[in-house]
Chain A
């Protein structure tokens, strides 16, 4: 009887997870080994053929490369910015609350709204950036239309959006640092600069690590603004993995190949999660 109760209590969660998480993962994995069923051809087992194709797919290689570039461009920058903002607003600055709110606002906006706002910044003729550049007497750039500036433009938008969110983590961590440590250091005549590098920065390491992993995961899950701003173009310059999966599945209707791409993305995310849980849990626990 007791066992039965146990199962009954677990059942709702079990059903939800099975239907919406476990089944899709397994189905995706299986699909990636088959071809799609069409009117002309039945579903055929392909083995690793889809994966083989993956390695020779220039668009996949480009999106993967773009994704790594995107992560490299956004993660460190947004973390450094977040830390600087957190340090600024954790001190006794006038209008502290207002500044905090300003920094945090991008975080509470939906991604699509953010993309729309930035669309107005980046638009070639009437956009904010080109207007400013025009006022200074230079010719504007087609930010999103140029392959060399399109991806960096998306990165800037992401940094703007994420930094405020990460700042909150740093702010919480900064507030939990004992004041006496700084007093003890102050009595020895430690400058603010060395206080930061010798005390604050090392004690923030667990937070930094946590944020880094989360930022990496977010970088690989980045997709929404692409729909609004670039649709992956020009010439796949802003085509990232998740967007490519979407296109493959719903524009090109190649479901089995989309499943294969999804497996790759999930693998990347799983590796990051393992690092997060495995390493963070074990390392850098001070007290």
Chain B
């Protein structure tokens, strides 16, 4: 129980197309995250699953039944709202039991279910408080309790942690995930926070402008981003992207032109080279910074010390954006230092002119030679 399928769903508000023909399958018992920046349609998608919005076209299927035109209450779902949506005039207990009372569940069962969520979320001592007397974290728990008390197999969550501070958010991430595992429910979770998505999701659906950009496990999204958008969206700092203008082709080699010191990538076949525009991407942690003149020459512009590591901002050409590199050493450079950056070729991501991953290159012709190429 708890499988959700969205088939060819489109939705527009006025003239603005918010969702364009998307297909999503949320597996039973999975923790699926709809990830994307604001305005990408993720909340609209969630609201269509909940029945708070109707799609313009397409079907929504829950557990094999078409629920497209069914009321929210008939879909067997519960929902946690970003603002919690607790009833301010009711105490915690009445808030939690609101739905059960509307559904006229008998008193004995209400009591048992209340006790269950009370234990699950550690609500003892606050059952008689009004929402205004609770802290943000407690409100969040009550909102969760209210969603879970009905014991539906599907729980929809709309950015539930966005109003909490960083420490509490971290705690709640772990807690929500463990509750989901324990109860075996399907969670469809909306967030713009990629860390939240990476840490909680079994399956991530990355949305961009009403379309699915990429979906898969957190590993696949991070290690094999299918598009430049995905590459830049996931990971902090984002993946460094260099475009063709910053590189030159020489026979079967690509060079990053930087006057005297060039990084050379070798390709066995160069279909891609014939295209007008293409890009290469390197994750900041894949960049090796050295002073031994290997790779591309650059200047350190800023250093962000984060404790476990340091983010360096390195300028390799006067005009272009800064490259960021993540290094483990602390305090070994000064701003303005000249350094050389290099990376393993297997860590190079190549994207074509449309920003799509160049599969041929990345799958078959990557030079697996793990040695750094010497600067020519």
Provide the residues of chain A in CB contact with B102, threshold 8 Å: 185, 188-190, 194
Interface positions of B from 59 to 96, Cβ below 8 Å from A: 71-74, 77-79, 81-83, 85, 87-89
Task: Please state if A187 and B77 are interface contacts (CB–CB under 8 Å).
Answer: yes
Task: Please state if A286 and B89 are interface contacts (CB–CB under 8 Å).
Answer: yes
Task: Please state if B74 and A189 are interface contacts (CB–CB under 8 Å).
Answer: yes
* Shortest Cβ gap from B107 to chain A (Å): 17
Q: Is A202's CB within 8 Å of the partner chain B? A: yes
Q: How large is the interface on A (under 10, 10 to 19, 20 to 34, 35 or more residues)?
A: 20 to 34
Whole-angstrom distance between the alpha carbons of A275 and B82 in the complex?
38
Task: Please state if B72 and A180 are interface contacts (CB–CB under 8 Å).
Answer: no
Q: Is A183's CB within 8 Å of the partner chain B? A: yes
* Shortest Cβ gap from B82 to chain A (Å): 8
Q: Is B130's CB within 8 Å of the partner chain A? A: yes
Q: Is B52's CB within 8 Å of the partner chain A? A: yes
Whole-angstrom distance between the alpha carbons of A199 and B72 in the complex?
18
Provide the residues of chain B in CB contact with A189, threshold 8 Å: 71-74, 99, 102-103
Which of these, B78, B85, B98, B103, contacts A180 with CB under 8 Å?
B85
Q: Is B236's CB within 8 Å of the partner chain A? A: no
Which of these, A180, A186, A188, A203, contacts B89 with CB under 8 Å?
A203
Q: Is A109's CB within 8 Å of the partner chain B? A: no
Task: Please state if A188 and B85 are interface contacts (CB–CB under 8 Å).
Answer: no
Q: Considering the complex, give the chain B residue whose CB is closest to the CB of A191.
A: B102
Q: Is A94's CB within 8 Å of the partner chain B? A: no
Provide the residues of chain B in CB contact with A184, threshold 8 Å: 79, 81, 85, 87, 98, 146
Q: Is A175's CB within 8 Å of the partner chain B? A: no
Q: How many A-B residue pairs have CB under 8 A?
A: 64
Task: Please state if B83 and A178 are interface contacts (CB–CB under 8 Å).
Answer: yes
Task: Please state if B85 and A183 are interface contacts (CB–CB under 8 Å).
Answer: yes
Whole-angstrom distance between the alpha carbons of A190 and B99 in the complex?
8
Which of these, B88, B98, B132, contacts A185 with CB under 8 Å?
B98
Residue of B102, B131, B150 ringed by the most chain A CB atoms within 10 A: B102
Q: Is B32's CB within 8 Å of the partner chain A? A: no
Provide the residues of chain B in CB contact with A270, threshold 8 Å: none
Provide the residues of chain A in CB contact with B132, threshold 8 Å: 285-287
Q: Chain A 118-153, CB within 8 Å of chain B: the 1/0 string?
A: 000000000000000000000000000000000000
Whole-angstrom distance between the alpha carbons of A202 and B94 in the complex?
14
* Shortest Cβ gap from B88 to chain A (Å): 4
- A187 and B89 contact, Cβ closer than 8 Å, known pairs A178-B83, A286-B132, A287-B132: no
Provide the residues of chain B in CB contact with A202, threshold 8 Å: 89
- A180 and B81 contact, Cβ closer than 8 Å, known pairs A186-B52, A187-B73: yes
Q: Is B50's CB within 8 Å of the partner chain A? A: yes
Q: Is A117's CB within 8 Å of the partner chain B? A: no
* Shortest Cβ gap from B49 to chain A (Å): 11
* Shortest Cβ gap from A257 to chain B (Å): 48
Whole-angstrom distance between the alpha carbons of A194 and B103 in the complex?
11
Which of these, A183, A188, A205, contacts B98 with CB under 8 Å?
A188
Whole-angstrom distance between the alpha carbons of A46 and B46 in the complex?
79
Residue of A181, A184, A190, A199 ringed by the most chain B CB atoms within 10 A: A184
What are 24 A-B contacts defined by CB distance under 8 Å?
A: A180-B81, A180-B83, A180-B85, A181-B85, A181-B87, A183-B79, A183-B81, A183-B85, A184-B79, A184-B146, A186-B52, A187-B50, A187-B72, A188-B73, A188-B99, A188-B102, A188-B103, A189-B71, A189-B74, A190-B102, A198-B87, A286-B89, A286-B130, A287-B132
Listed in ascending order, the chain A residues whose CB lies under 8 Å from chain B are 178, 180-181, 183-190, 194, 198-199, 202-203, 205, 285-287
The 9 closest A-B CB pairs, nearest first, are A189-B73, A188-B99, A180-B85, A286-B88, A184-B85, A202-B89, A187-B72, A190-B102, A180-B81
Q: A186-B73, A205-B89 are in contact. List 16 more A-B contacts (CB 8 A).
A: A178-B85, A181-B85, A181-B87, A183-B52, A183-B81, A183-B85, A184-B87, A184-B146, A186-B72, A188-B98, A188-B99, A189-B73, A190-B102, A198-B98, A199-B87, A286-B89
